[in-house]
Chains A and B, each alone.
Chain A
Amino acid sequence: MKKVLIIGSGISGLSCAIKCAENGVYALLISPFPSERSQSVMAAGGINAVLSDCDNGDSVECHIEDTLKGGSYLGGKKSVSGLCSRGEEIIKYLERIGTVFSTDSSGRPIRRAFGGQSHKRTCFCGSSTGKQIVSALIMEARRYEAKGLIKRRLWSDFHSALIHDGRCFGALLFGEGTGRLEAVYADAVVIAAGGQNSVFGKTTGSTQCDGYVSGKLFMQGVELKNLEFIQYHPTTIETPQKKMLISEAVRGEGGRLFYNENGRRVYFLEDKYGSRGNLMTRDVLSREIAAAKKEVFLDISFLEKKEIDRRLPEVRDICKKYRGIDISAEAIPVSPSVHFFMGGIAVHMNHETNIKNLFAVGECASMYHGANRLGGNSLLAAIYSGWVAAEDIAGKESSGKAENFTETEEKENAALKSRMTTKSNFPVMYIRDMLAGTMCSKLGIVRDEATLGEGLADIDYYLSVAEKINYDASVLPYFNYSLTGILTLSKAIITCAVNRKESRGAHFRSDHPESRDELCYSSIISYNNGSFSFRLDKEHEYES
C-alpha cells in the first residue's frame, strides 16, 4: 500500500489524510500536538462557496472573479477556477461528515457577507467555523484511524526532508520522547504546517506556526513564492497576552468602523467608499486604519443583544474576558495585525513543489490568494488543497525507487547531540524575540527600501551568530535546531519585499506607490548555498 507522510494535522493535513484514506493510501499524520491545538481552530468567520440556492446573480464565475480581483490578479486563473468550482462539493462534504453549520429553518447553511465579495456566499458556524470543521474532520479521521488507514504520531517535529536528485523520499523527524532524529520513508510527503505567524511574535495566530518547515525546505532547494504578501487583518484587539482577532463576521453582520473627532463619530470608510466601506478588502482597510492615525473603533452595539449572542458569541466572549468590553453596549477598539500569509511554498496545480513527491497544502502553500486573500477563502483552500494533493498522490504510480538515508540520519543525530550537550542556557527565544521586533518594525503595512534594508541587515546579523551560539539544553531541541531555518525564511520574506518595486494588494511601498502592469506576476525566490535568487514567474511555470 502506498504511504504518505503528512506534516501538520490542522484542517489541510486532516483533509489530505482523509482523502488519502478514502483512496486506499495509508497516511501517517505528524504533529507535536493533537489537531485540537492547531491554528485551524482559531479561524472564525466562515467558508466561501456558491451553492445551488445562492444569491440572485451569484455564480462560480463571480466567486472566481472576486478571488482574482481581491488578490490583485496574482492568483492563477486556472487554479482559482478549480478552487471555486468545488466550493459546493466541499460544503456538502462538510455537512455529510456532521459539521454543525449555522442553518435556517429548513436546515440550509445561512450565508453572510464578507469583505471584497460581490454576493453573500460565506457559510459559517457561529463565529467558530474553523473549530467546528476541525471537530468534524477529527471524527472522520478517527473512522479511518480505527481501520488502520490513518495513523497519528504525536510529540514529533519535522527536522528536514529526505531529498536526493530532485526527489523526496521521506523526512527526518525529531521524537520529543526519544530525543532522537528518525528517518521516516514514504511515497510522498505533504507539508501542511501552516503560516509563519510567529516570525512576527505573538500575532492573531498560533505560537506553533513558526515557518520553520518552509525555511528548512527553502534551504534544501524548495522554491518559495509571493512571500512579500502578508495580510494584516484590519480588526484585532490588543490584550496583555497577544493581539486577538475580531472576526470579519462583525462587519459582515453590519459592524461599522469609526474614529472620534471633535466629539462626534467619523465613519471614515463609509465617507470614502460608500455604504460598503466597512466591507472593503482587508488590505485596503488596514491601510486606511493605519493612515487615520487615530484610535479606531468597531461598533456592533446597535445589533440586538440576542442576535449578538446567537451570531457572534466568541467575539462577545473575547472582548469581555480580555478587555472587559460589553460589545452589545460599547464599541471595540481595533487595530491591524499580521494575520495570514498569501505567500509560501511554491506549488504546481497538483500542489507538488519543484521537488518530486514533495507537496504543500493549506496556508504554508502559495496558490490561490495572490496579493491579498478574501475572508472565507482560506478554509476553502485548506480543504481543497488537501484533496488535490491526495487525489494526485493516489492516482500516481508508485516509483518503487528507494534510497537509504541512514548516513544522513546518523550525521544529523551527531550534530544535534553535540549542540544539546552544551552547558550554556542562552535561549534561542531571545533571538526569536529580536527577529519579531525586526519583522514588525521593518515590514509593516507601509514599506520602503531603506527600512527594508535595515531589516535585512538585522537578520544578517542574527544569522551570523545563529550557528555560533551555545543553545539552551533545557528547552526542546526543536527550538534550537529550528532557528536558522526561521531566520533564513525571514530573510527571504524581506528580500522579496525589497525586490517588488511596486504596490499591489497587501504589499504597499511608499517609495513605489503605484501598481505596474509589467510586474503583475508572482515572485519566486530560491536558495543556493547561502545566496538568494529572486525572479518573477513570467512564464506561469507554477500554473501548470
Chain B
Amino acid sequence: MLVCMAWAATESSALAIPAFARKYQTSCQTCHIVFPKLNAFGEAFRLRGYRMPGETEEMVKQPPVSLGAPAYKKLWPQAVWPGETSSSVPLAVNVEMADVNASSLNEDGTVTSVKNDLQFPAEVALLGAGTLGEHVSYWSEVVFGEKADGSVEAEIEQARIGFDSPFGPEDLFHFRIGKFTPNLAAGLKGGIFVSTDAGIDSFFGYNPIGVNGGTGPREMTPAPIAIPGSVRGIEGYGIIKHRALWVAGLVNGIGPSAGGNFDGNNSKDVYARFDYKIGGMGLDGDTGGQPYVPEKNWRDNSLRLGVFAYRGDGSNIDFPMTLEDGAERHMQDVNFLRTGVYANLFFQDLNVVGAYLHGTDSLKAFDTESGALMRAIEPNWHAWFTQADYVIYPWLQAGFRYETVTPADVSVPSLRTGVFNVSALVRANVKLMVEYQRDMREGDNHSLNALLRFVF
C-alpha cells in the first residue's frame, strides 16, 4: 500500500528555480548538488530569503527595477517605503515526466501491477520567486497535474511573502506569511532529497485515526495528522551566530472544516525547532572570514543536529470510522504532539541524514447520532528514517533510504520501506532519475520508476 501510492506524491515543494540562475547569471550547481537537493551555499541562500551570503550589487546581473529611491526612507510615513521588483518576470517552469512500474498487493489478496505507464508529463509546475528589495522576499508555486482522464488539477503548493531581517542583527529574524513548507520540515522534506517522494511517507502521511490508534500512512480526509509538509500560517525563524537555527510557527492545522473553511476548527497549531550545525559553512553562509572557494560544491564536512515539536488541536474535527460493533462513529484527535530529533552528516562525498519522530494522540470516538463519548484512548506511535547519498561524479548521485513506522495499533506490524535511487544530471537543469522502492514486509509491494525532469 505504501509503495503503490508512491507516485501519487511526486516531488513537490523541492524545486530548483531557474529564475535565480537568470538573476545571478549563475549555474544551478551554485546552490544545488543534484537539483532540488541543496548544498550548503544553497541552504544559506534559502534561509537568507533568497539572497546570497555577502551579496553585493555586482553579484546581481539583472538589476532590479526601483520602486522608489532609497532616500524616501527618510520621508516615511509621509511617503511609501521604497522597494524593488525584478526587471524580468521571475518565472520558472518545472516539467516532470515519469515512466511508472508498480506492483501492489490488494486487500483481497490479488496483485495489481502497472507496467510502463508513461506519464508524459506527470506534472508541470509554475514557479515564481525572488526578492522585493532589501527585506522582502516571495515564493509562489502552482502545480498542474494531468490525470488519466485528461482533466487537469491545479494546486497552489506555496504562496508566501517573507520579511527578512526587518530588525535586529542580520538573519536573526525572518518571518513568512502564507502557505509554505514549514522549516519544521527542513531536512525532512523539500530541497534535501533527490528521491521521487516529496518526503518521508511515515512522517508526513501517517494517519493516527483508528479504533486502536493509527495503522500507518494512508490518505485521509481531512488531511493527515502527522507533521505537516505544507501549512497556512505565520512562521518566524532565524540564525543565531551563524550556527544555530530557531523556528517557531503558528498555523491553521488540520483542515478543511465541514463548513469549507481552511481551518478545521478555530484553534491553531504551533511548532518549534532548534538546530545546531557543527563544522562546514555557517547556516547563513558564514565561512569564518575565509573566501568561499569550494573545490567540490557538494562537500561541506559538517554535522547538523536538531530537535523539533509540533502540537496540534483537532477538536471538533470529525473523522468517520466504524467501531468493533459495526456502529458508525466519528473520531476526533483532540490534541496531538509530535516530537523528534534530526541529524545530517556531510563527509566528503557522503551525506547521511536521519530523523526519529514520536507521536502521541488523544483520540475520542463519539456516537454519530447522540454525540455521546464512546471511547477515549491515547495511543503512541513512532517512525524513523535514514538516508545515505553518495556523489559518484558531479553529475551522478546514488542514494539509499530506509524508513520505518511502528503504528499505534499493535495488531499492525511495523512498516518498513527501502528506496534505492540513482540520479543523473544530463544537463545542469535536466535530470534523469531511476528509483526502486520496496515494501520490506510484503514483496508484492514494489515499484520501479524512471523520472525525467527539466526546469527552465
Q: Decide if A and B are genuine partners.
A: no
Binding site for B on A (CB under 8 A): none
B residues neighboring A (CB under 8 Å): none
